[in-house]
Amino acid sequence: MNIIRYPATLIVACAILLSAGHAGAAGESASAASSGDWHWSFRYRLETVDQDNFTRDATASTLRTRLAYQSPERHGFSVFAELDYVAELFADDFNAGAGNTPKRGAFPVVADPEGADLNQAFIQYRNGPSRFRAGRQRIIFDNARFVGNVGWRQNEQTYDALSYAHGTEGGPQFTLVYVDNVNRIFGNDVADGDHDQNTWLANFSTAFAGAGKLSAYLYDIDNRDVPALSNTTLGVRYAGSRAIASGKFGFVLEFARQSDNGGPVDFDANYYRLDLSADLGPVNLYGGFESLGGDTIGGRAFRTPLATLHAFNGWADQFLSTPSGGLDDGFLGLKGKVGAWSWNALYHDFTAQSGPGNYGNELDLSLSRPFAEHYDLLLKAALFDADSSAFVDTTKLWLQLTAKF
């Protein structure tokens, strides 16, 4: 059995053995299944999309139920399993994408397909500062710009992988991952829900006391199902902060160089990012500039197939793939707190990186708060105003309620 690709049966068996061994060693009478930690969570979301190239608006009302189990550790070994189920409630006037809902093509896409998913299931061995995992797992590097879990969508992106991590909190950390398959947000019922891989991911970081954190990475992505997404990316990232008279000043500098990796088009492209922020107590002023290289010839733009894309280039998700001419994103935001409420307002200006062209601008707004210990409420809006015929005006609204136990 391939424990990287098909981990479920082996994970469950190991969980029972580890739990039983733990209960026996402690002299407990509890059953094996009750010896570990169980967690429930629920995430309800109402999402609406008004997109100018559709005559009908989308309304998606979905609930994700998640059950997670963490076994006790025995001789360094433990197992973890996480099961999700996404249900459509009350409203299903939306296209779930990638062929999940072929009869709903009249609606814009809201990529939250209904169904069950084994989100994570892995065996772990820990020995001092070293950790090994085999199976289906969540992988996030740095700010998830290149490798992430797409946690905004109801069906999370996870990886069938072998991973090794070594390091301690506050010290040097190194992670090496071999990925056999990417379980994408579109689910198991469609071809685009899984991408077969022969991918290696390496990330090293170290913190300097009072000076910041340096990260270096090499991501060698070989996508066997969609070769055009294959690439090799080498980059470096530095994040730091300094105390100022009225608060704290923060900055991030990042550069990456990308080339093709056996895909149909030969290309080289650069990535640049600068973030600046000033924490002034009641408010935080932040802004920056991000550039993904492009070319006047199609197919040569910088690509980020494993990224958590919703967190970048606007919440309206107009740039899930980089335009052929590349993308320059200048952004400026202000966020803060009023009582229990947190608020955020962010403006983007999008232009082509290679050659002339204005793509459009976007205003993103959010308001959130926790309440009653286990619950969180989130309201969000994204308003994209297109300046190019390649894009369309889009307005997205969200109401989300989360409960964790």
CA distances from residue 252 to 23, 59, 143, 213, 276 in whole angstroms, order as listed: 48, 37, 11, 9, 7
pLDDT greater than 90 at residue 3? no
- Predicted local confidence at residue 356, as pLDDT: 84
pLDDT greater than 60 at residue 10? no
Parallel, antiparallel, or unpaired for β 268-279 and 283-292?
antiparallel
User: What 3 state SS string does 189-246 have?
Assistant: CCHHHEEEEEEEEEEEEEEECCCEEEEEEEEEECECCCHHHCEEEEEEEEEEEEEECC
β-sheet bridge partners, residue 286: 277, 333
Query: CA nearest 14: which of 25, 3, 27?
Result: 3
7-11, 296-300, 314-318: which is most confident: 314-318
pLDDT greater than 80 at residue 25? no
Q: Is 405 within a domain? A: no
What residues contact residue 302 under an 8 Å CB cut-off, 6+ apart? 258, 269, 270, 271, 292, 293, 294, 322, 326
- Predicted local confidence at residue 14, as pLDDT: 52
Q: Is 131 within a domain? A: no
Q: What is the pLDDT of residues 46-56, one digit of tens each?
A: 999 999 999 99
pLDDT greater than 50 at residue 395? yes
- Output Rg (C-alpha) for the chain, integer angstroms: 22
What residues contact residue 164 under an 8 Å CB cut-off, 6+ apart? 130, 131, 132, 175, 176, 177
Q: How confident is the model at residue 392 (pLDDT cuts 50, 70, 90)?
A: very high
pTM, 2 dp: 0.92
Q: Is 194 within a domain? A: no
Q: Quote the domain boundaries for residue 248.
A: 226-388
Q: How confident is the model at residue 188 (pLDDT cuts 50, 70, 90)?
A: very high
Overall average pLDDT of the 282-301 stretch: 94
Place of tokens 């500098």: 253
pLDDT greater than 80 at residue 20? no
Q: Is 158 within a domain? A: no
Parallel, antiparallel, or unpaired for β 327-338 and 283-292?
antiparallel
Domains held by the chain: number: 1
In percent, the amount of the chain with pLDDT more than 90 equals: 86
Overall average pLDDT of the 58-70 stretch: 98
pLDDT greater than 90 at residue 8? no
Q: How confident is the model at residue 289 (pLDDT cuts 50, 70, 90)?
A: very high
> How far is the C-alpha of 361 from the C-alpha of 358, rounded, in Å?
9
Tokens describing residue 121: 């299931």
In percent, the amount of the chain with pLDDT more than 70 equals: 92
Q: Is 128 within a domain? A: no
pLDDT greater than 90 at residue 90? yes
Q: Which helix (H) or strand (E) holds 60?
A: strand 58-70
Tokens describing residue 373: 């210990």
Q: Which helix (H) or strand (E) holds 23?
A: helix 8-26
Q: What is the pLDDT of residues 263-279, one digit of tens each?
A: 899 999 999 999 999 99
Query: CA nearest 272: which of 258, 286, 261?
Result: 258
- Predicted local confidence at residue 350, as pLDDT: 98
Question: What's the mean pLDDT when you consider all of the chain?
Answer: 92
Q: Is 402 within a domain? A: no
**CATH number reported for the structural domain that contains residue 273 in this entry:** 2.40.160.10
- Predicted local confidence at residue 34, as pLDDT: 52
Q: Is 332 within a domain? A: yes
Ranges 16-20, 310-314, 323-327, 366-370: which has the least confidence:
16-20
pLDDT greater than 70 at residue 9? no
Do residues 92 and 103 make contact, with C-beta atoms less than 8 angstroms apart?
Answer: no
Overall average pLDDT of the 110-114 stretch: 98
* Longest Cα–Cα distance in the chain: 72
Tokens describing residue 11: 């994970």
- Predicted local confidence at residue 169, as pLDDT: 83
> How far is the C-alpha of 232 from the C-alpha of 320, rounded, in Å?
19
- Predicted local confidence at residue 120, as pLDDT: 98
User: What amino acid occupies position 213?
Assistant: K
pLDDT greater than 70 at residue 23? no
Q: What is the pLDDT of residues 207-259, one digit of tens each?
A: 998 889 999 999 999 999 999 999 999 999 999 999 887 889 999 999 999 99
